[in-house]
Chain A
């Protein structure tokens, strides 16, 4: 559980620090992995299969999120020719 916490905080730091969109996506992967690790640890602690099932759902969700995220990255790169998240913060609301 401590390992899951450390990985989660590392992913969060990466998410906040790096300014490259692909690094942001990779940090999201680390975050989802740490959550899945916490589920698996809990499932193996109580000898239940539920932890692995939740990990499967997290896996499916991560695959979905990464595919759409990378498609968006391609669109953004073709439009702005940059992957800096500060450069594309022109959405005013």
Chain B
């Protein structure tokens, strides 16, 4: 299990370095997904399966889909089809596929070994849930307020002056959990014609 921990850490660091040195956004996103998956395996090895599942679902799933949406929306006008043809050459996939393959082998190996966790007992979802809704209930309420404010803020920012609000509807509704009220600075700056 020690070996699994170190190999996963090496994969995370290598993919982060590769992410930072890419020039293309989509390539960097691929490496970022590999980093998130490596961290999920790391949590699994450390005996935190609930955190591992959330990392894989929320980060590698939802947040990366959000990034991908934005990258796609930004590339609409500039160079649509030919650039995609240039991106999707064969060699791009090799790096992330190798790193993700290492992770898959590690997970298979860890599933074969009887005891999960780094020599310790795993802290399962049950303990986490009991503690979360016991002494940390005020934190849950605060987090929900933050997410609600973020939802409203992202909706407000995405809706303004763009005549196609349905795309932002999709991304925001897919997330369901969105960001802080950074839009308070801009709140109401576009509503002035209606009030006068």
- A and B co-occur in one complex: yes
Interface of A toward B, CB cutoff 8 Å:
3, 6-7, 10-11, 13-14, 17-18, 20, 22-23, 25-27, 29-30, 33, 36-37, 40-41, 43-44, 47-53, 55-57, 59-75, 77-78, 83
Interface residue ranges, B against A (CB under 8 Å) = 9, 12-13, 16-17, 19-20, 25, 28-29, 32, 35-36, 39, 42-43, 46-48, 50-51, 54-55, 58-59, 62-63, 66-67, 69-71, 73-74, 117-118, 120-121, 123, 127-128, 130-132, 136, 139, 143, 146-147, 149-151, 153-154, 157-158, 160, 162, 168, 172, 175, 177-180, 182-183
Q: List 9 A-B contacts (CB under 8 A).
A: A10-B16, A14-B19, A29-B32, A33-B36, A53-B128, A60-B177, A67-B66, A68-B183, A74-B158
Q: Are A13 and B179 touching (Cβ within 8 A)?
A: no
Chain A residues closer than 8 Å to B13, beta-carbon distance = 3, 6-7, 10
Extra A-B contacts (18), CB below 8 Å, given A10-B20, A64-B177: A3-B13, A3-B42, A10-B13, A43-B123, A44-B47, A47-B120, A52-B128, A56-B51, A61-B146, A61-B180, A63-B179, A65-B180, A66-B66, A67-B66, A67-B150, A68-B154, A68-B182, A70-B69
Q: Which residue on B lies nearest to A25, using beta carbons?
A: B67
Contact check, A70 vs B16: say whether CB atoms are below 8 A apart.
no
